[in-house]
Structure 1
Amino acid sequence: MASVIAPRLRPRPAHTPGTTRCAYTPDGSKLVTVGSNNTIRLYKTGFDGEPTNVDDCQEQNLALATSKDFFVAASEDGTVSYYALGDSNMFDRFLLRTSLPVRDVALSPDARWCAVASDELTVKLVGVQDNTQLLTLKEHAKPTKHLAFDPKGSLLALSCTDGVIYVYSLTADHPELIRKVDGVIGRMETEAESCCRVAWHPDGRAFAVPTPTRSIQVVSKNDWEKQRAFSSGHDGDITAVAWSPNGALLASASRDKKLLIWSAKDQTVVARYEYPNVMDIAWHPTKNLASFTTSDGEVFICPDFVPEQFASLLRLPTQPAPFIHDPLAEAGANGRRPEPNGAALPSRPRRGSLDSLEDLLDDDNFGDDDDGFVVDDDGAGYTLNAARKRAAEDDGALGQRPSKRGNFVQPQLHPSFQPGSTPWRGNRKYLCLNLIGFVWTVDQDSHNTVTVEFYDHEFHRDFHFTDTYLYDKACLNDQGALFSCPPKDDRPAVLLYRPHETWTHRSDWHIELPKGEAVLAMSLSDTFITVTTTGNYVRTFTLFGIPYRVYRPKSTPMVTCASWRDYVLTMGNGPVGADGMCRLLYTIENIKRDEICQNEDTVALPDGATVKSVFFSDNGDPCIYDSTGTLLTLLHWRQPSRASWVPLLDTNLLPRLASGRKHETYFPIAVADNKFHCIILKGGDQYPYFPRPLLSDFEFSIPLTSAPSKKKSKKQTSGDDSDQDMFSDDDDDETPQQPESLALTQSYLLKSLHASQLSDLLSSTASTASQRALLARLRLEVDKTLLQMLAVECREGGEERGMRALEVVRLMGDRSGRMLEAAGKIAERYGRGVLGGKIRELGEEVEGEGEEEDY
Structure 2
Amino acid sequence: MASTAPPRPRARPAHTQGSTHCAYTPDGSKLVTVGSNNTIRLYKTGFDGEPINIDDCQEQNVSVDASNEFFVVGSEDGTVSLYSIPDATFDKFLLRCSLPIRDVALSPDSKWCAVASDELTVKLVRTDDNTQIRHLKEHNKPTKHLAFDTKGMTATLACSDGIVYVYSLTSDEPELINKVDGVIAALDTESEISSKIAWHPDGRAFAVPTPTRDIQVVSKNDWEKQRVFANGHNGDVTALAWSPNGAILASAGKDKKILLWETKTQSVIARLDYANVIDIAWHPRDNLVSFTNSDGEVYIHPDFVPEQFAPLLKLGKQPAPFIHDPLSETSAIARRPLETRPPPIRQRRDSAGSYDSLMDGALPEDDDFVIDDDGAGYVINGNGKRVHDDLDVFGEPVSKRPHLEPEYHEAFQPGSTPWRGNRKYLCLNLIGFVWTVDQDGHNTVTVEFYDHEFHRDFHFTDTFLYDKACLTENGALFSCPPKDDTPATIFYRPHETWTNRTDWRTQLPKGEAVLAMSLSDSFVTVTTTANYVRVYTLFGIPYRVYRPKSTPMVTCASWRDYVWTIGNGPVGADGHTRLLYTIENVKRDEMCQNEDTVALPDGATLKSIFFSDNGDPCIYDSTGTLLTLLHWRQPSRASWIPLLDTKLLPRLASGRKTETYFPIAVADSKFHCIILKGGDQYPYFPRPLLSEFDFSVPLTSEPPKPKKTPNPDAMDQDGTPEPDTGDDDDESETRKLEQQYLLKGIAAAQLQDLVESSSGSSSSAQRSGLARLELEIDKTLLQFLAVECREGEDRGMRALELVRLMRDRSGRMVEAAGKIAERYGRSVLGEKIREVGELRVGGGEDDDDF
Partner residue in 2 for 1:298 = 297
Determine the C-alpha separation between the residues in 2 that align with 1:100 and 1:12.
Answer: 31
Partner residue in 2 for 1:178 = 177
CA contact (8 A) 2:344 2:373 kept: no
1:9 aligns with 2:12: no
Determine the C-alpha separation between the residues in 1 that align with 2:785 and 2:366.
Answer: 62
Q: For the structure 1 residues 638 and 241, does the alpha-carbon distance in structure 2 shift closer, same or farther, using more than 3 Å as the test?
A: same
1:489 aligns with 2:484: yes
Corresponding pairs, count: 804
Determine the C-alpha separation between the residues in 1 that align with 2:224 and 2:35.
Answer: 36
- Give matches, 1:161-176, under 5 Å: 161-176=160-175
Partner residue in 1 for 2:129 = 130
Q: For the structure 1 residues 807 and 510, does the alpha-carbon distance in structure 2 shift closer, same or farther, using more than 3 Å as the test?
A: same
1:752 aligns with 2:745: yes
SS in structure 2 opposite 1:497? Answer: strand
Determine the C-alpha separation between the residues in 2 that align with 1:72 and 1:642.
Answer: 68
Shift of 1:261: 1.1
The residue type equivalent to 1:319 in the other structure is: Q
The residue type equivalent to 1:306 in the other structure is: V
- Give matches, 1:101-140, under 5 Å: 101-140=100-139
Shift of 1:385: 11
Shift of 1:348: 2.7
SS in structure 1 opposite 2:332? Answer: helix
Task: Pick from 588, 596, 607 the counterpart of residue 593 of structure 1.
Answer: 588
SS in structure 2 opposite 1:560? Answer: strand
Shift of 1:800: 1.7
Residues 421-479 of structure 1: CA deviation (Å, up to 9, x unaligned): 00000011000000000000011111111000001111101111111110000000011
1:763 aligns with 2:762: no
Q: For the structure 1 residues 492 and 24, does the alpha-carbon distance in structure 2 shift closer, same or farther, using more than 3 Å as the test?
A: same
Determine the C-alpha separation between the residues in 1 that align with 2:373 and 2:798.
Answer: 66
Shift of 1:334: 3.3
Moved more, 6-15 or 590-599: 6-15
CA contact (8 A) 1:655 1:710 kept: no
Partner residue in 2 for 1:205 = 204
Determine the C-alpha separation between the residues in 1 that align with 2:415 and 2:640.
Answer: 21
- Give matches, 1:393-412, under 5 Å: 401=396, 408-412=403-407
- Give matches, 1:478-627, under 5 Å: 478-627=473-622
Determine the C-alpha separation between the residues in 2 that align with 1:525 and 1:384.
Answer: 46
Residues 695-743 of structure 1: CA deviation (Å, up to 9, x unaligned): 0000000111114056599xxxxxxxxxxxxxxxxxxxxx999711110
SS in structure 2 opposite 1:739? Answer: helix
Q: For the structure 1 residues 647 and 361, does the alpha-carbon distance in structure 2 shift closer, same or farther, using more than 3 Å as the test?
A: farther
Shift of 1:338: 5.4
1:145 aligns with 2:139: no
CA contact (8 A) 2:278 2:291 kept: yes
Determine the C-alpha separation between the residues in 1 that align with 2:519 and 2:421.
Answer: 28
The residue type equivalent to 2:438 in the other structure is: D
Partner residue in 1 for 2:718 = none
CA contact (8 A) 1:117 1:146 kept: yes
CA contact (8 A) 1:65 1:105 kept: yes
CA contact (8 A) 2:477 2:493 kept: yes
Moved more, 645-654 or 576-585: 576-585
Shift of 1:825: 0.7
SS in structure 1 opposite 2:259? Answer: strand
Q: For the structure 1 residues 273 and 678, does the alpha-carbon distance in structure 2 shift closer, same or farther, using more than 3 Å as the test?
A: same
TM-score after normalising by structure 1: 0.91
Moved more, 516-525 or 702-711: 702-711
Residues 177-222 of structure 1: CA deviation (Å, up to 9, x unaligned): 1111111001010110000010011111110010101011100010
Residues 303-362 of structure 1: CA deviation (Å, up to 9, x unaligned): 1111111111111111111111111122151323457xxxx532234446xxxxxxx799
Shift of 1:386: 15
Determine the C-alpha separation between the residues in 1 that align with 2:351 and 2:657.
Answer: 36
Task: Pick from 801, 813, 822 the counterpart of residue 819 of structure 1.
Answer: 813
Partner residue in 2 for 1:727 = none
Q: What is the Cα-based RMSD across aligned positions, in Å?
A: 2.6
Q: For the structure 1 residues 384 and 84, does the alpha-carbon distance in structure 2 shift closer, same or farther, using more than 3 Å as the test?
A: farther
Determine the C-alpha separation between the residues in 1 that align with 2:436 and 2:747.
Answer: 38
Residues 647-677 of structure 1: CA deviation (Å, up to 9, x unaligned): 1111011000111111100000000001000
Q: For the structure 1 residues 492 and 772, does the alpha-carbon distance in structure 2 shift closer, same or farther, using more than 3 Å as the test?
A: same
Partner residue in 2 for 1:61 = 61
Residues 277-310 of structure 1: CA deviation (Å, up to 9, x unaligned): 0010000011111100010111100111111111
1:689 aligns with 2:694: no
Q: For the structure 1 residues 740 and 8, does the alpha-carbon distance in structure 2 shift closer, same or farther, using more than 3 Å as the test?
A: same
CA contact (8 A) 1:437 1:476 kept: yes
Partner residue in 1 for 2:332 = 333
Q: For the structure 1 residues 314 and 738, does the alpha-carbon distance in structure 2 shift closer, same or farther, using more than 3 Å as the test?
A: farther
CA contact (8 A) 1:100 1:118 kept: yes
CA contact (8 A) 1:73 1:82 kept: yes
Shift of 1:848: 3.9
Partner residue in 1 for 2:627 = 632
Q: For the structure 1 residues 674 and 643, does the alpha-carbon distance in structure 2 shift closer, same or farther, using more than 3 Å as the test?
A: same
SS in structure 2 opposite 1:36? Answer: coil
Determine the C-alpha separation between the residues in 2 that align with 1:771 and 1:25.
Answer: 76
Shift of 1:373: 2.0
Shift of 1:817: 2.1
Determine the C-alpha separation between the residues in 2 that align with 1:736 and 1:494.
Answer: 60
Residues 61-114 of structure 1: CA deviation (Å, up to 9, x unaligned): 11111111111111111111111111x301122111111111111111111111
Moved more, 327-336 or 219-228: 327-336
Determine the C-alpha separation between the residues in 1 that align with 2:33 and 2:7.
Answer: 23
SS in structure 1 opposite 2:540? Answer: coil
Determine the C-alpha separation between the residues in 1 that align with 2:502 and 2:809.
Answer: 58
Partner residue in 1 for 2:381 = none
Q: For the structure 1 residues 672 and 850, does the alpha-carbon distance in structure 2 shift closer, same or farther, using more than 3 Å as the test?
A: same
1:835 aligns with 2:829: yes
The residue type equivalent to 1:740 in the other structure is: E
Partner residue in 2 for 1:92 = 91
Determine the C-alpha separation between the residues in 2 that align with 1:534 and 1:492.
Answer: 13
Residues 19-68 of structure 1: CA deviation (Å, up to 9, x unaligned): 00000111111111001111111111001111111111111111111111
Determine the C-alpha separation between the residues in 2 that align with 1:280 and 1:267.
Answer: 21
In the alignment, structure 1 segments of 5+ residues that lack a partner are 353-359, 376-381, 389-397, 714-734
Shift of 1:819: 1.3
Determine the C-alpha separation between the residues in 1 that align with 2:465 and 2:374.
Answer: 43
The residue type equivalent to 1:773 in the other structure is: S
Partner residue in 2 for 1:664 = 659
SS in structure 2 opposite 1:5? Answer: coil
CA contact (8 A) 2:705 2:732 kept: no
SS in structure 1 opposite 2:831? Answer: helix
CA contact (8 A) 1:362 1:372 kept: no
Structure 1 runs of 4+ with >4 Å offset: 349-352, 360-365, 367-371, 382-388, 402-407, 709-713, 735-738, 850-853
Q: For the structure 1 residues 736 and 94, does the alpha-carbon distance in structure 2 shift closer, same or farther, using more than 3 Å as the test?
A: farther
Identity of aligned residues (%): 73
Determine the C-alpha separation between the residues in 2 that align with 1:79 and 1:371.
Answer: 40
In the alignment, structure 2 segments of 5+ residues that lack a partner are 376-389, 709-727
SS in structure 1 opposite 2:330? Answer: helix
Determine the C-alpha separation between the residues in 2 that align with 1:134 and 1:68.
Answer: 23
Shift of 1:417: 0.6
SS in structure 1 opposite 2:628? Answer: strand
